[in-house]
Chains A and B, each alone.
Chain A
Amino acid sequence: MRRAQSEGADAAEAYVITFTSRSVYIEDDVPKVAEERSETGLGIRAAKAKRVAFSATTLASPADVRSAVGAAIAGLKRVPEDPDFSGLPTEAGKGEVRGAWDAATATTDTAGLLDAAKTFTDAVRGSKATSVPKAIVRIQEYTFRVANSNGIVANHRGTLVFAYLTAKCGSKGKFGEGIVKAMNTSIRPIDFAAHGATVARRAAENLRARAFKGKLPGVAVLDPLDLGEVFLTTVGSAVNGEDVHKGRSPWAGKVGADVASAGVTVRDRPRMPSGLASGVADDEGNATQDRTLLEAGRLKGFFADRKHAALLGVPAGNGYRRAVATVEGAYTRPAETEPSNLVVEPGRKSLEALLAEVDSGVYVEKFAAPEVNPLSGSFAMEVRNATLIKKGELADHVKVALLTGNFYEGLKNVVGVGRDLSPSHAFLTAPGCAYVPPMAFDGFELVGQS
């Protein structure tokens, strides 16, 4: 940072992150591959008047610092001015959020991961004719420091556990597969045996599922894992200050308007204990704060990084570069406006109670890919683990069908909010984590062959 200023920058910011990662890959029930990796990197943001440039490098020696600073300073000469740049943060978050870093997880070695993987595999194989074709269990421990020429210094350390778990059953060319993901800041709360039982059940149901024929309008009850990803890409974009400023958000200019059912309250909670994206400082160093985005369906405000906070007149604190499934590559990009922990206020009903209230509809545990157009809200997602609901009871398992509708319209037709939150993420390197419960939506339609 000092070097950048000595070479001509008015202002500079340095972000250094170091991480260690350990992974085990299960293939055909056995730990086929195990790995350990470590990496340290530096991201430099340099500014001169309204010109801003960024460079990043793997950090292995002082020469790397010199080359990264040199690249950022050279960049200042070729970038046009950014009239919206309003300087670097002036106040840093201090301290730690409880549970963001877990000592026992940080010291778990590959032998410990093998034990966890074996617990999962044993649970799957305990089910009839089921095997684990593929599973990944990974632990990361990371530390970052961000400092800028305004004199702020912010530090953060965390641990991340990510598990991608599958099971397969069937024979003679006819197979069914179940998939679950588990994410936490600590490995202890993850119940690998329970996940094994869940994926085995999903695999068996997937094998029994029949192609759905015709169309079924009604209530759709969605499992939290894929629903969380949908929330991140839709609500997470609609309340994103950068998207609002650029004119991309469908909720721009709607603060105070009802955009969802009264049962829907959404908060950004960077100070949530044990949250995957929790921290007292964001990746620019800004002090974070929990804030309400939707309260009882009414839009209350937006979140933003330093630049867009100044443009929109909202508090800063949402400038992120690290993702929650892995922090690799975080230093290679500047901080941008992103959610931290996007939390849907849970209701009081169990999943069973939500299902019992549905006269006719579908319960979707897994989509092929939970993708919704973040601009328009329209979607048509192929169901992979889905079960029809008839008079409050789960009935036939179905596949080769699309759940279609508009998610922004669906938010106005929420007919049930479950009580149990689960974390999910949108994309490997995308910052932000959603904590959502199972929810029931009216107005979507299941479409199959006709």
Chain B
Amino acid sequence: MSAAVRALEKAGAGFGDVRTEDRNAFVVRVANEQIQSVNEVHRRGWGLRAFVDGAWGYASGTSGRSADAVQAARKAVVIARRGAAAGVPPSKLRKMPSTAITLEPKVRIEPRDVAGEEKVAAAMEVCRSEKREEVANTNASYADSDWTFELANTWGACLQWREVRIRIAGQAVAGEGDRRESAFDFRDGTAGWELVKALDLAAFGRGLAQEAVEMLRAAKPPAGLMPVVTDPGVSGLLAHEVMGHASEGDEIVKKRSFLTDQVGKKVGSALVSMYDDGTYPGAHGSIPFDAEGTPAHKTTVIDRGIYRGFLHSLETSGVLKARPTGNGRAQDFGRRVWVRMTNTYFGGGRDKKDEIVEETKSGVLTRKWISGMEDPVGGSFQAVTQSGFRIHKGEVGERVRGMTLTGDALSILKSVDRVSKEIALDGGTCGKGEEDYVPVAAGGPYMRCKIVVGGG
């Protein structure tokens, strides 16, 4: 690494860094109580980047030879110069103090110390527990990952850290004639095997089967603008997809975000506070350092309805004259750094979930998210839920099929009038546009607000 860093400097990079990654993963998939695949994957490589007069050049590879990395360093500088010559305006990075730190993850039972047979058996138990007469197809998966990073840069940083993640998931598909409905759930986090040990796998599987069967009887969701009590996962999508993506510093620099000029302004009701926190214990998006070597940080994005600020990389910190927040992240050694979220969530309030429902005359309660989509430019929100429930006169009524929620994000946040004490975070992966996936988490409380609902 040191030879590559020296080569970056010698070739004329104003700044440069080298990151090596060694990624191990163990993945099990089972379906209908039969093994589908057991995969053990080892991937490693290095990525270099050079910053020249405002432009970045990246080069990456997998060779173990130092000479190849040195050659790539020179290439990265040439590529950056080519970009600078094409008209990139000069910019400055926010310089970070040089440090030498090694960090190990806080994992109680290392997944690498657990026998593969146990991991297969865990997935198989979830799958087996989903089985019942009305269920046409049972599925489960287990995955753990163990990534080691080393980073050095031209400012003298020398860092080493590990990230360990684990995930167990199930999906039951119920069938009746031509009709198919499913239920999906998972548990994940920056944790070890203790996460699986703590889970009642059989109950987890049976719950999925029950929910899938109930989905066969679920009604079409109502349509139109109405009161919606969002569950923590769907609240998390609102935090992540709209307010989170639109708070990424690079979108602000480009003025591509509808939040560009909103600092200090009211963007939600006084019940709404929102954070991005890469230090959140055990959450799927937690990281010791980002891909630039900046330590993870808790950033207040919204404080009691007032918009407070952005998430930053070294470059957006320099341009916007702010402190780096540890949000410069990359999918892997071969991909570029963008400003990305970590664990993004709304803070809790004072209500209880049941009280919120009791005080809702008519509306819907969401149940589990499937996906969401960002719109930093327009500020509109889209979330797809797995299912939900009608609320009639303060009581949870019939189950409804998956629905899509949409609306103007600021209007939704300003309509928030009840917020539960309890919050929860779900893990997942997040893309920028439709590429560059990084592990994240999102969540929040049960929140009541007004959203446009529809479903097929």
Q: Which of A53-61, A97-105, A187-195, A291-299 contacts B (4 or more CB under 8 A)?
A: A53-61
Min distance, Cβ B25 to any Cβ of chain A, angstroms: 8
With A399-B380, A450-B224, A450-B225 as known contacts, state yes or no: A250 contacts B178, CB within 8 Å.
Answer: yes
State whether the Cβ of B306 lies closer than 8 Å to any Cβ in chain A. no
- Contact string against B for A residues 384-420, beta-carbon threshold 8 Å, 1 for contact and 0 otherwise: 1000000000000001111011110000000000000
Q: Give Cα A110–Cα B76 distance, bound, in whole angstroms.
A: 11
Q: Which of B189-197, B285-293, B429-437 contacts A (4 or more CB under 8 A)?
A: B429-437
Q: Is A373 in contact with B402, judged by CB distance below 8 angstroms?
A: yes
Q: Which of B59-67, B102-110, B162-170 contacts A (4 or more CB under 8 A)?
A: B59-67
Q: Is A58 in contact with B43, judged by CB distance below 8 angstroms?
A: yes
- List CB contacts (< 8 Å) of B396-420 with chain A: 401-404, 406-408
- Contact string against A for B residues 59-90, beta-carbon threshold 8 Å, 1 for contact and 0 otherwise: 11111100000000001000110110011110
Q: Which of A33-41, A152-160, A260-268, A276-284 contacts B (4 or more CB under 8 A)?
A: A33-41
State whether the Cβ of A422 lies closer than 8 Å to any Cβ in chain B. no
Set of chain A residues within 8 Å of B88, measured between Cβ atoms:
30-32
Q: Is B82 in contact with A114, judged by CB distance below 8 angstroms?
A: yes
Which of A32, A79, A173, A447 has the largest number of chain B CB atoms within 10 A? A32
Set of chain A residues within 8 Å of B64, measured between Cβ atoms:
60-61
Set of chain A residues within 8 Å of B57, measured between Cβ atoms:
33-35
Q: Give Cα A173–Cα B256 distance, bound, in whole angstroms.
A: 9
Min distance, Cβ A225 to any Cβ of chain B, angstroms: 12
With A75-B40, A250-B178, A405-B456 as known contacts, state yes or no: A449 contacts B378, CB within 8 Å.
Answer: no
When the two chains form the complex, which single residue of B79, B221, B375 contacts A35, counting CB atoms closer than 8 Å? B79
Min distance, Cβ B36 to any Cβ of chain A, angstroms: 8
With A33-B58, A428-B437, A447-B452 as known contacts, state yes or no: A247 contacts B83, CB within 8 Å.
Answer: no
State whether the Cβ of A208 lies closer than 8 Å to any Cβ in chain B. no
With A28-B254, A36-B75, A400-B380 as known contacts, state yes or no: A55 contacts B224, CB within 8 Å.
Answer: no
Min distance, Cβ A33 to any Cβ of chain B, angstroms: 4
Q: Which residue of B lies closest to A72 (CB)?
A: B40
Min distance, Cβ B289 to any Cβ of chain A, angstroms: 21
Min distance, Cβ A323 to any Cβ of chain B, angstroms: 11
State whether the Cβ of B382 lies closer than 8 Å to any Cβ in chain A. yes
Q: Is B437 in contact with A54, judged by CB distance below 8 angstroms?
A: no
- Contact string against A for B residues 313-329, beta-carbon threshold 8 Å, 1 for contact and 0 otherwise: 00000000000000000
Min distance, Cβ A366 to any Cβ of chain B, angstroms: 11
Q: Which residue of A lies closest to B61 (CB)?
A: A38
When the two chains form the complex, which single residue of A35, A55, A78 contacts B39, counting CB atoms closer than 8 Å? A55
Min distance, Cβ A149 to any Cβ of chain B, angstroms: 19
With A57-B43, A447-B452 as known contacts, state yes or no: A79 contacts B55, CB within 8 Å.
Answer: no
Set of chain B residues within 8 Å of A59, measured between Cβ atoms:
62
Q: Give Cα A82–Cα B221 distance, bound, in whole angstroms.
A: 40
Min distance, Cβ B453 to any Cβ of chain A, angstroms: 8
The count of residues in chain B whose C-beta lies closer than 8 Å to any C-beta of chain A is 92
Q: Is A58 in contact with B59, judged by CB distance below 8 angstroms?
A: no
When the two chains form the complex, which single residue of B87, B372, B378 contacts A30, counting CB atoms closer than 8 Å? B87
Q: Is A332 in contact with B43, judged by CB distance below 8 angstroms?
A: yes
Q: Is B380 in contact with A32, judged by CB distance below 8 angstroms?
A: no
State whether the Cβ of A442 lies closer than 8 Å to any Cβ in chain B. no
Set of chain B residues within 8 Å of A34, measured between Cβ atoms:
55-58, 79-80, 82-83
Set of chain A residues within 8 Å of B55, measured between Cβ atoms:
31-34
Q: Which of A312-320, A356-364, A375-383 contacts B (4 or more CB under 8 A)?
A: A375-383
With A30-B88, A375-B180 as known contacts, state yes or no: A176 contacts B378, CB within 8 Å.
Answer: yes
State whether the Cβ of A328 lies closer than 8 Å to any Cβ in chain B. yes
State whether the Cβ of B41 lies closer than 8 Å to any Cβ in chain A. yes
Q: Is B56 in contact with A332, judged by CB distance below 8 angstroms?
A: no
Q: Which residue of B lies closest to A81 (CB)?
A: B35
Q: Give Cα A53–Cα B63 distance, bound, in whole angstroms.
A: 26
Q: Give Cα A75–Cα B400 distance, bound, in whole angstroms.
A: 43
Q: Give Cα A84–Cα B32 distance, bound, in whole angstroms.
A: 12
Q: Which residue of A lies closest to B54 (CB)?
A: A32
Q: Give Cα A57–Cα B44 distance, bound, in whole angstroms.
A: 8
Set of chain A residues within 8 Å of B179, measured between Cβ atoms:
250, 376
Q: Is B371 in contact with A371, judged by CB distance below 8 angstroms?
A: yes
Q: Which residue of B lies closest to A449 (CB)?
A: B225
Q: Give Cα A57–Cα B32 distance, bound, in whole angstroms.
A: 29
When the two chains form the complex, which single residue of B89, B221, B373 contacts A369, counting CB atoms closer than 8 Å? B373
With A378-B455, A449-B225 as known contacts, state yes or no: A54 contacts B56, CB within 8 Å.
Answer: no
State whether the Cβ of B117 lies closer than 8 Å to any Cβ in chain A. yes
Q: Give Cα A177–Cα B380 distance, bound, in whole angstroms.
A: 12
Set of chain B residues within 8 Å of A371, measured between Cβ atoms:
370-371, 384
Q: Is B456 in contact with A378, judged by CB distance below 8 angstroms?
A: yes
When the two chains form the complex, which single residue of B137, B224, B437 contacts A447, counting CB atoms closer than 8 Å? B224
State whether the Cβ of B258 lies closer than 8 Å to any Cβ in chain A. yes
Q: Give Cα A71–Cα B224 distance, bound, in whole angstroms.
A: 54
Set of chain B residues within 8 Å of A84, measured between Cβ atoms:
34
Q: Give Cα A74–Cα B256 distance, bound, in whole angstroms.
A: 51
Q: Is B334 in contact with A328, judged by CB distance below 8 angstroms?
A: yes
Set of chain A residues within 8 Å of B178, measured between Cβ atoms:
250
Q: Is B175 in contact with A56, judged by CB distance below 8 angstroms?
A: no
Q: Is B256 in contact with A384, judged by CB distance below 8 angstroms?
A: no
Q: Which residue of A lies closest to B80 (CB)?
A: A34
- List CB contacts (< 8 Å) of B327-345 with chain A: 334-336
When the two chains form the complex, which single residue of B40, B255, B401 contacts A71, counting CB atoms closer than 8 Å? B40
Q: Which residue of A lies closest to B372 (CB)?
A: A369
Q: Is B83 in contact with A39, judged by CB distance below 8 angstroms?
A: no
State whether the Cβ of B377 lies closer than 8 Å to any Cβ in chain A. yes
When the two chains form the complex, which single residue of B59, B60, B250, B402 contacts A378, counting CB atoms closer than 8 Å? B402
When the two chains form the complex, which single residue of B31, B61, B82, B87 contacts A110, counting CB atoms closer than 8 Å? B82
State whether the Cβ of B358 lies closer than 8 Å to any Cβ in chain A. no
Q: Is B39 in contact with A334, judged by CB distance below 8 angstroms?
A: yes
Q: Give Cα A98–Cα B36 distance, bound, in whole angstroms.
A: 34
B contacts, CB < 8 Å to A: 25, 31-32, 34-45, 47, 54-64, 75, 79-80, 82-83, 86-89, 115-117, 120, 124, 136-137, 173, 175, 178-182, 221, 223-225, 250-251, 253-256, 258, 260-261, 334-336, 370-373, 375, 377-378, 380, 382, 384, 401-404, 406-408, 431, 433-435, 437, 452, 454-456
Can you pick out 15 interface pairs between chain A and chain B where the beta carbons lie within 8 Å of each other? A34-B80, A34-B83, A40-B62, A54-B37, A57-B42, A74-B116, A75-B116, A78-B115, A133-B251, A134-B433, A176-B378, A334-B39, A368-B406, A402-B452, A404-B455
